[in-house]
Every structure is written in structure tokens, then in C-alpha cells.
């Protein structure tokens, strides 16, 4: 009975999304309903989180089909932490949405797509079955296609077409890879795959499958050299949609890499070596991208790439400290990226342009926005005692443990350059004099408190590391000793 | 038989990718359709093409087909069906609004 808990974070938003579609034109009702359900979903996942912390993983075997045969959902600590983070972001975004979307967009199924996206993302975190991972990928991708073209402007249609094609291609590759893996190990249950990969003496073909899967996840996670689709398609939609896509979707890719490459494909050290190279290149190219543009939205989007590089570095090191660092950084990055996308949305709104050269002096009119953005930049760059620092500290420590000095240096330099790219926004956008105030919109500005609260949570995540770190340590121990996961699922 | 099917899936993938690399939007959509057909055929082949009884456990049932790949294909077909129809609607809108179906002209520039 209690194992049914694991399905709640998928079912609540799924049903809410479907229900919201029925009264999509009654705005006061749909707004209230969405806020209520988003908060309810957050509370439900917090409750499951507490239950998991006390009693260990919740494993749901749907329809009572025993583990390797039926479809299973696994709410272990890692999954449930990420689900909670997702729902925190979702709850704040739904409050932010009303102030940045116009009524037309709200009426045309924004809330339905929003809930379906959350449902898919939570499902991807919770599933214990590789084929279902693909299905949940499709669920949130379909919702993201809907969200990204919401409004249907010229440029949106142009960029989202490329986004859809790329994701469709990598999804098809995902199915093909699952078929490959099925032909080798004869199962799609992740725990059983892990067990059989250990036994099967077929290094070559399994490495090929591993790299194919990495290609799929990396193109969703925007790792070098597969990030080319991301910058343009993440800046065209509405700020709240950018928030959801930037904070959640790329991180699902990273989570999948973390799960699959700490559980299944650890037979070949070359894969981990590849990860370290790509991590370093992602950091370098992401930072170059962030420094190369004057478009504030693009700067933030490019900043996703070095962050992904940091997490990949932790996964590539595959030591307990490294994985702990990657998990910590993952949670930190989801929250702070959501906050930054919201703040940038407000900034672009306040300035009336997204070109840094045309803005200035915003801090005179919007002091709170300015200072929240400043704190968020420090958090992102990893200045102690904020949460970015703890994650980076763990990652760099793990790098030294494995003698990857060059990687550590690249990481440190790129952190400094991330700070530079953020301070550039601060100097050009917030300081100085406003060029002319003729393009100042006189509508109510987007609400600031959701972004402020997210920054606050992020600060707590850093300052309260003492309470959170033991759980992160547990997670990394579980990921490194993969028998814990296998035994908990297959109950041997 | 498996070899033949694998080659067929390979041909579908190759033609799909060729179409994906074209400039015309409609060709790209057809390309994605061909690739998904290839993927589905591939899943079927990977579960071994066996003739025999349906996968229902009865006494004396020895040679039965593997039901899992079929379940996977059904799911995957439904998904690609939905995505393709969405993609067609999207490309029509993109064509109407941008007044071109040439991907070269849909590249965009740095300042927008």
C-alpha cells in the first residue's frame, strides 16, 4: 500500500494537466487550481521525501508484477531529492507565470502543458526501467514542444522547429539503443541490466551501446559538442518557459547520465576518461559563449553549459566525493538557474530590450531586482559560503584525489569567467545611467518574490550544508556501491 | 531473416538521415518518419523473429514469441505518430508565418 506513494508525483500533475485543459478559458479558476495543485504536489513529494529518509527507498511494482518483469518506479533518495527540487521550482514558476504571461497565452493551455512537463520530469527521475525513461522523456518533450511555441511568433516557430527535430532524432536513437541493449542483455529493467552487464563478457558491444546512450543523454543535457541547439531555442519563449526548460530539462539529461553510468556502464574506464575530456571542453566553450554575446538571455543560457560540465566532471571521476559533488551541484544548479531565468525575465522586461549595450541604470528603478541578481550571480559563480561553493569544493577535491590537476585548473578559471560574465550584466545593465526611458513599459512589472525565494533557498542550501551534506553523502554512497540499488530493486 | 531485417532497418535509417539533411521542411519531416520506422523494425528484429505459439503459458508451450519487443514497439509507434502529426502542424505554421520552407533561409541572425 505505502509503495503507491512513489506514483503520486507523476499522477498528481498528470491529472491536474488534463483537468486544467477542460476549463482553460476561465482564467481565475485555472490560475487558482494550478497554484493549489502545484503546492499540493510539492507537499506530497516532501512527504514522500520524509518517508524515504526514514524508511529507505520506496519501490512500486505496478500491478504487482515482480521486479524484473513488471514496470517499476524507484523513489530512492537521489530521485526523491530531485523530484522535490523540481516541484519547488514548479511551485514558484506557477506563481511567477501569471505576471509574465499575457492572458492569451494563459488561456491557450499554458497550465496544462506546464503540469504535463512536471509529470514527465518527475517520471524520468522516478522510473527504474530504461524503456519507461524513454516514455517519460517523450512526455516532457511533448509538453516542452507545446510550451516553446506558446504564442506562435515568427522567431519561435523558426527556432522551435530545430529544437523539435533534434529531440525527435535523439529520441529515435534512444529507442534504437534500448533495442540494442535488449538484444544483448534481454531486459529493460535498469537493476537487472546492471546485474547482467557485470556477468556478460561482451565489453565491445556494451561500450558502443553506452556511448550511444551517452549521445542521447548528452544532446538533451547540452554537453559539448551537442549543445548547439540550445542557446537559440531557450531564449525565444516566454521567461517562465525558459525557466522551466533551462532549470529542468537539461538536468534530466544529466540525471540520466548519472544514473546509467554509475549503475550500468562501469566496465570500461575509457568512458569515464571521455567524460572528463568533454567536461573540460563544456566548461571552456560554455564560458566562451557566455562572454561572447551582449544578449542577457543568451549569457544565462550559455552559463548552463559550464554547469553541466562541472556535473559531468563529478560523474567522470566516479569516486564518492566526485558523485557527491555532482549531486550537490545538480540540486544547486536547478534552483539557481530557475532563479536567474526569472530575474533575467524581469530585467528584460524592465529594460525593454535584451541587448546589454542598450540598457543601463536599472538599479535606480528596481533596487531589489538589482541586489537579488547580484546575490544570484555570486551563488552561481560559487563564492563561499553560497551553495555553488560547496558543490565546486567537493568536485575540485575529488579532482585532486584522482590527480586531474589540469581539469581542476580549468574548473577554477571557468568559475572566475562565469563570475565575470555575470558581473558584466550587472555593470552594463544595472549600473550607470539609463540611455533613454522612452521604451519603458508602464505595465505592472513581473513579480519578484518567486525569484527572491529561490535565491533564498539556494543560500540556505549553502549555509545549511551541514544538515544537507549527510544526505548527499548517503546518495553518493548508494550510487558508488551499486549493489545497494540492485538489491533493493530485485530484492535478493 | 534477422540479417535481412537489419539491412532493411539500416536502409530506412540511411534514407531517413539523407532526407533529414535536406533544405525543404517537408523532406525533413518525412526523414524523421523514415527513421522512426527503421527504429521500430529494429526493435522487432532485436527480439528475435520466431514463429510459434503466442506468449501464453500453457503446458507444452516451448516455442513462443517474445512479447516485450511488441509492447515496446506499440508504445513507440503511438509516440512517433503523435510527434509526427504535431511536427506537420508545426511546419505548416512555420511555413505560413516565415513564408519559406527553406531551412537555409530560416537560420536567423545574432541580433534577434
Report the mean per-residue pLDDT for chain A.
89
Question: Can you give the residue ranges of every domain in chain B?
Answer: 2-50+66-102
Provide the CATH number for the domain formed by B2-50+66-102 in this structure: 1.10.287.3510
Calpha distance A487→A449 (Å, rounded): 44
Output the DSSP codes for B58-87: -TT--SB--HHHHHHHHHHHHHHHHHHHHH
pLDDT at A24: 85
B35/A157 touch (CB, cutoff 8 Å), yes or no: no
What 3-state class would DSSP assign to A268? coil
B53 touches B64 (CB < 8 A):
yes
What is d(CA A462, CA A180) in angstroms, rounded to the nearest whole number? Answer: 42
Residue A110 has, within 13 A of its CA and on its CB side, a CA count of 32
Decide if A48 contacts A9 (C-beta within 8 A): yes
Tens digits of residue pLDDT in A212-258: 999 999 999 889 888 888 888 898 888 999 999 999 999 999 999 99
The span from the CA of A82 to the CA of B40, in Å, is: 32
Q: How far is Cα A74 from Cα A72, in angstroms, rounded to an integer?
A: 6
**Are the beta carbons of B32 and A183 separated by less than 8 Å?**
no
Q: Which residue do the cell numbers 533493493 mark?
A: A488
As a whole number of angstroms, the distance between CA B1 and CA B5 comes to 6
Write down the residue that cell numbers 568536485 correspond to.
Answer: A395
C-alpha span between B41 and A175 (Å, rounded)? 11
pLDDT at residue B112, rounded to an integer: 54
Minimal Cα–Cα distance from B109 to chain A, Å? 10
Predicted complex: ipTM over 0.90:
yes
Residue B109: its pLDDT value, please? 63
Residues of A in contact with B76 (CB under 8 A): 134, 175
| Separation CA A14–CA A469 (nearest Å) | 32
Averaged over A102-117, what is the pLDDT? 90
- Which of residues A444 and B107 earns the better pLDDT score? B107
- Closest approach of A54 to chain B, Cα-based (Å): 36
Answer yes or no: do B39 and A176 touch at CB < 8 A.
Answer: yes
- Mean pLDDT for A290-304 is 91
Comparison of pLDDT for B78 and A151, the residue scoring more: B78
| DSSP 3-state of A238 | coil
Is the confidence at residue A428, as pLDDT, over 90? no
B8 to chain A, minimum CA–CA distance in Å?
A: 14
What's the Rg (C-alpha) of chain B? Answer: 20
- Residue A311's pLDDT is 93
Predicted confidence band at B110 (pLDDT cuts at 50, 70, 90)?
low
Give chain A positions within 8 Å (CB) of B39.
Answer: 172-173, 175-176, 179
Report whether A142 contacts B83 (CB < 8 A): yes
| Phi/psi of residue A346, nearest 5 degrees | -65, -40
Measured between alpha carbons, how far apart are the two ends of chain A, in Å? 21
Q: What does the buried/exposed string (b/e) look like for A137-160 if buried means 16 or more CB atoms within 10 Å of the residue's CB?
A: bbbbbbbbbbbbbbbeebebbbbb
Which pLDDT score, from 0 to 100, does residue A444 have?
67
CA separation (Å) from B85 to B22, B39, B75, B80?
Answer: 20, 18, 16, 8
The model's pLDDT over A379-411, given as tens digits with 9 standing for 90+, comes to: 988 887 888 888 899 999 999 998 889 999 999
| Interface with B, mutate which of A127, A163, A169, A175 (most B CBs under 10 A) | A175
- The two counts, helices (H) then strands (E), for chain A are 23, 2
Q: Do A161 and B106 touch (CB under 8 A)?
A: yes
What is residue B111's predicted lDDT score, i.e. its pLDDT? 52
Closest in A142, A158, A165 to B108, CB measured: A158
Whether the predicted pLDDT of A32 surpasses 90: yes
C-alpha torsion angle, residues A124, A315, A196, A474 (rounded to 10):
-80
pLDDT in the model for residue A438 = 57
Query: Looking at beta carbons, which residues of chain A come within 8 Å of B20?
Result: 165, 169
Q: Verify whether the Cβ–Cβ distance B94 to A142 is below 8 Å.
A: no
Alpha-carbon distance A141 to nearest alpha carbon in chain B (angstroms):
10
Cell numbers that stand for A91 in this block: 511551485
Mean pLDDT across B69-91? 91
Cβ–Cβ gap A169/B32 under 8 Å: yes
Q: Which of A27-31, A98-102, B63-67 shows the lowest per-residue confidence on average (mean pLDDT)?
A: B63-67
Burial B24-50 (b: 16+ CB within 10 A, else e): ebeebbbbbbbbbbbbbbbbbbbbeee
Question: Cα(B81)–Cα(B63) distance, rounded to whole angstroms?
Answer: 32
Q: Which of A137, A151, A179 to mutate to test the interface with B (most CBs of B within 10 A)?
A: A179
Q: Average of pLDDT values for A408-435? A: 88
Any CB–CB contact under 8 A between A232 and chain B?
A: yes
pLDDT at residue number A176: 92
Flag whether pLDDT at A436 surpasses 70: no
Q: Is A161 within 8 Å of chain B by CB?
A: yes
pLDDT recorded at residue A103: 84
Nearest to B32 among A138, A168, A188 (CB): A168
Q: Do B42 and A176 touch (CB under 8 A)?
A: yes
Torsion-angle region of residue B54: left (phi > 0), alpha (psi -120 to 50) or beta?
beta
pLDDT band at residue A115 under the 50/70/90 scheme: very high
* Residue A258 touches chain B, beta carbons under 8 Å: no
Q: Which of A135, A159, A183 sits opposite B75 (nearest CB)?
A: A135
Q: For residues B83 and B99, give the distance between their C-alpha atoms in angstroms, rounded to a whole number.
A: 23
Cα of A317 to nearest chain B Cα, Å: 33
At how many degrees (to 10) do helices A304-317 and A387-401 cross? 40
Residue-wise pLDDT for B26-67, tens only, equals 999 999 999 999 999 998 888 777 776 777 777 776 777 788
pLDDT on residue A352: 82
| A 334-393 residues with CB < 8 A to B | 355
All residues of chain B having their beta carbon less than 8 Å from the beta carbon of residue A293 are: 110
Q: How far is B46 from chain A (nearest CA, A)?
A: 5
Q: What's the whole-number average pLDDT of chain B?
A: 86
Backbone φ and ψ for A355, nearest 5 degrees, come out as -90, 120
Distance from CA of A36 to the nearest CA of B (A): 30
Tens digit of each residue's pLDDT (9 = 90 or more) over A131-183: 999 999 999 999 999 999 988 888 888 888 889 999 999 999 999 999 999 98
Residues of chain B contacting A, Cβ within 8 Å? 20, 25, 28, 32, 35-36, 38-40, 42-43, 45-47, 68-69, 72, 75-76, 79-80, 82-83, 86-87, 90-91, 93-94, 97-98, 106, 108, 110-112
Question: Percent of chain A at pLDDT above 70?
Answer: 98
Nearest CB neighbour to A179, from listed B43, B90, B98: B43
Amino acid at each position: 500500500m505505502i509503495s503507491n506513494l512513489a506514483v503520486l508525483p507523476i499522477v498528481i500533475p498528470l491529472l491536474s494537466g488534463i483537468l486544467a485543459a477542460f476549463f482553460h478559458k476561465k482564467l481565475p479558476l485555472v490560475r487558482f487550481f494550478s497554484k493549489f495543485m502545484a503546492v499540493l504536489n510539492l507537499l506530497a513529494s516532501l512527504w514522500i521525501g520524509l518517508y524515504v529518509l526514514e524508511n529507505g527507498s520506496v519501490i512500486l511494482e505496478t500491478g504487482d508484477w515482480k521486479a524484473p518483469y513488471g514496470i517499476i518506479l524507484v523513489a530512492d533518495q537521489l530521485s526523491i531529492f530531485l523530484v522535490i527540487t523540481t516541484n519547488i521550482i514548479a511551485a514558484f514558476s506557477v506563481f511567477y507565470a501569471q505576471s509574465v504571461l499575457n492572458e492569451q497565452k494563459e488561456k491557450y493551455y499554458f497550465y496544462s502543458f506546464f503540469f504535463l512537463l512536471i509529470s514527465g520530469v518527475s517520471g524520468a527521475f522516478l522510473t527504474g526501467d530504461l524503456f519507461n525513461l524513454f516514455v517519460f522523456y517523450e512526455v516532457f518533450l511533448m509538453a516542452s514542444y507545446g510550451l516553446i511555441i506558446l504564442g506562435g511568433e515568427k522567431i519561435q516557430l523558426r527556432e522551435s522547429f530545430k529544437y523539435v527535430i533534434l529531440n525527435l532524432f535523439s529520441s529515435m536513437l534512444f529507442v534504437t539503443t534500448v533495442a540494442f541493449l535488449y538484444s544483448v542483455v534481454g531486459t529493460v529493467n535498469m537493476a537487472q541490466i546492471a546485474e547482467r552487464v557485470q556477468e556478460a563478457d561482451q565489453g565491445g558491444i556494451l561500450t558502443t551501446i553506452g556511448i550511444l546512450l551517452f549521445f542521447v543523454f548528452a544532446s538533451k543535457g547540452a554537453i559539448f559538442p551537442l549543445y548547439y541547439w540550445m542557446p537559440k531555442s531557450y531564449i525565444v519563449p516566454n521567461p517562465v518557459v525558459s525557466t522551466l526548460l533551462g532549470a529542468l530539462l537539461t538536468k534530466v539529461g544529466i540525471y540520466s547520465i548519472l544514473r546509467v553510468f554509475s549503475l550500468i556502464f562501469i566496465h570500461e574506464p575509457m568512458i569515464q576518461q571521455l567524460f572528463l575530456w568533454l567536461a573540460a571542453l563544456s566548461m571552456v566553450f560554455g564560458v566562451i559563449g557566455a562572454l561572447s554575446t551582449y544578449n542577457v538571455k543568451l549569457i544565462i543560457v550559455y552559463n548552463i553549459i559550464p554547469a553541466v560540465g562541472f556535473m559531468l566532471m563529478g560523474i567522470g571521476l566516479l569516486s564518492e566525493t566526485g558523485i557527491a559533488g555532482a549531486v550537490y551541484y545538480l540540486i544547486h544548479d536547478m534552483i539557481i538557474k530557475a532563479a536567474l531565468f526569472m530575474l533575467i525575465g524581469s530585467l528584460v522586461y524592465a529594460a525593454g530590450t535584451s541587448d546589454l549595450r542598450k540598457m543601463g541604470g536599472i538599479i535606480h528603478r528596481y533596487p531589489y531586482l538589482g541586489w537579488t541578481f547580484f546575490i544570484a550571480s555570486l551563488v552561481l559563480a560559487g563564492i563561499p559560503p553560497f551553495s555553488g561553493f560547496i558543490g565546486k569544493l567537493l568536485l575540485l577535491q575529488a579532482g585532486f584525489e584522482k590527480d586531474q590537476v589540469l581539469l581542476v585548473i580549468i574548473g577554477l578559471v571557468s568559475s572566475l569567467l562565469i563570475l565575470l560574465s555575470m558581473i558584466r550584466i550587472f555593470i552594463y545593465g544595472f549600473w550607470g545611467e539609463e540611455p533613454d526611458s522612452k521604451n519603458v513599459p508602464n505595465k505592472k512589472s513581473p513579480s519578484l518574490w518567486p525569484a527572491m525565494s529561490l535565491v533564498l533557498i539556494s543560500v540556505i542550501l549553502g549555509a545549511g550544508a551541514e544538515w544537507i551534506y549527510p544526505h548527499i553523502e548517503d546518495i553518493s554512497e548508494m550510487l558508488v556501491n551499486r549493489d545497494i540499488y540492485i538489491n533493493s530493486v530485485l530484492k535478493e | 531473416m534477422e540479417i535481412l531485417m537489419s539491412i532493411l532497418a539500416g536502409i530506412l535509417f540511411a534514407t531517413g538521415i539523407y532526407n533529414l539533411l535536406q533544405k525543404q521542411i517537408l523532406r525533413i519531416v518525412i526523414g524523421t518518419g523514415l527513421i522512426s520506422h527503421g527504429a521500430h523494425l529494429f526493435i522487432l528484429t532485436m527480439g528475435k523473429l520466431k514463429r510459434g505459439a503466442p506468449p501464453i503459458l500453457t503446458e507444452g508451450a516451448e516455442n513462443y514469441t517474445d512479447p516485450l519487443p511488441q509492447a515496446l514497439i506499440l508504445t513507440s509507434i503511438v509516440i512517433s505518430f503523435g510527434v509526427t502529426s504535431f511536427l506537420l502542424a508545426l511546419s505548416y505554421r512555420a511555413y505560413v508565418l516565415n513564408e519559406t520552407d527553406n531551412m537555409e533561409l530560416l537560420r536567423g541572425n545574432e541580433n534577434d
